[in-house]
Structure formats: structure tokens, C-alpha cells
Amino acid sequence: MTEVVLFHHAQGLTPGVAAFADGLRLAGHTVHTPDLFDGRVFGTLEEGLHHCEETGFGELLERGAKAVDGLPAEVVYAGLSLGVLPAQSLAQTRSGARGALLIHACVPFREFGTAWPGGVPVQVHAMDADPVFVGDGDIDAARELVEEAEDAELFLYPGSEHLFTDSSLSAYDADAAALLRERVLGFLD
């Protein structure tokens, strides 16, 4: 099966992120869940983003890179919202990536100083009325990535929740999360 590195969102390595990873493990995949916040979990997205700003996004990218030291190069990088930063950066810059799953966010691929690498498939997943994904321009970055990459798909789900895959948060949408999981498992297989 596939080896995956799953980076958590701005609220931290919540029980819902762990449950998402466990769902992939139950399907036979090896999933690593690095904790970029050293055990801290935040009650709101705003609190988590404040922590990210205090820590520095560059530092979080470095923590993500350090988290994969010692892992094989041939992994799929996955990120949930904030976790897309290290996932996308590593998929674009660390040789050997098998794929990328960008969930709830997408960064303009040029931010990492390189084109999207050939032979690295990517999926982007978000809700079509998510004020963060749509309002902050991630949807435009995702559409540009789909045009740039050889094998890329953008999946938009009906709704306006940002972290709809996290079963421990009020934003959780069971139907959308189940469809996303089905698509992610298809990608990993």
C-alpha cells in the first residue's frame, strides 16, 4: 500500500485529524502524522492561526521538512488547510514524491520556486463556498495548479465549512467527508 505523511491544520493534531489518518490506515496505508505544534491543540481556527503567526510560517515549513527526515522519498504528502503548506512544498521540492493531497487549501505553486513536478499526481479538495478557500484565493491557485500539472484534479463539495473533514469539530460534514475519503482512497490505490 501507500506511505502517506499527513500534516494537520491550524487547530493542531486534533482527534478528528487522528481519526482521518486512522481511516487511511484501516484501508492498509501507512500514515505518519507529524505534530508541528508540539502537542498544542486550539479550540478555534483563529487561535490556531494566531499561534502560526507567532511561530512563523517559515518555521512551520522547516518543522515539516524535519518531520520527513528518515522517511523514504516515495511518499504521498497530504495536508489539511495549514498542513498544505509543508505538504505542497515537499511534494514540489523533495525528489521522489508519489503524489499530493491538498485538502481545504492550495498555495500558488510558484511560491515554492519551481513548477509542479512531472509525474506527481495531485488532488485538491474543498467546499465550493468555503470563505477561506474561495475568499483567500486558494481556489484560483487550485485551478492554476490543475492547468499546470500533468495529473491534477480539483474536487469542490457543496457547502461553506472550512475544516469539514475533521470529525472533532463543528464544521464536520459527514457526507462530504465520506465522499472525500472515497476519492482519497482511490488516489492512494
What CATH number did the domain enclosing 93 receive? Answer: 3.40.50.1820
Residue 29, Cα to own-chain centre: how many angstroms?
16
Q: What is the mean pLDDT of the chain?
A: 96
pLDDT at 30 over 90: yes
Q: Measured between alpha carbons, how far is 181 from 186 in angstroms, rounded to an integer?
A: 8
Query: pLDDT tier at 185 (50, 70, 90 boundaries)?
Result: very high
One DSSP character per residue, 127-153 reads ETT-HHHHHTTHHHHHHHHHHHSSSEE
pLDDT at 114: 84
The region of weakest confidence among 46-55, 81-90, 154-163 is: 46-55
Strand residue runs (E) in the chain: 3-7, 30-32, 76-80, 99-103, 122-127, 152-157
pLDDT at 118: 93
State the pTM of this model. 0.96
Q: Measured between alpha carbons, how far is 165 from 77 in angstroms, rounded to an integer?
A: 17
pLDDT at 179: 98
Q: Measured between alpha carbons, how far is 166 from 8 in angstroms, rounded to an integer?
A: 10
Enter the DSSP assignment of 117.
P
Contact 97, 24 (CB under 8 A): no
Buried b (16+ CB within 10 A) or exposed e, 44-65: ebeebbebbeeeeeeebbebbe
Q: Measured between alpha carbons, how far is 102 from 149 in angstroms, rounded to an integer?
A: 14
User: pLDDT tens digit string along 110-162?
Assistant: 988 889 999 999 999 999 999 999 999 999 999 999 999 999 999 999 999 99
> What's the mean pLDDT in 153-180?
98
pLDDT at 34 over 90: yes
Q: Which helix (H) or strand (E) holds 88?
A: helix 84-93
Phi first, then psi: what are they for 79, rounded to 5°?
-140, 145
Q: How many structural domains compose the chain?
A: 1
pLDDT at 113: 83
pLDDT at 24: 98
Which residues constitute the domain of residue 103?
A: 3-188
> What's the mean pLDDT in 63-89?
96
pLDDT at 32: 98
Phi first, then psi: what are they for 103, rounded to 5°?
-115, 125
pLDDT at 188: 97
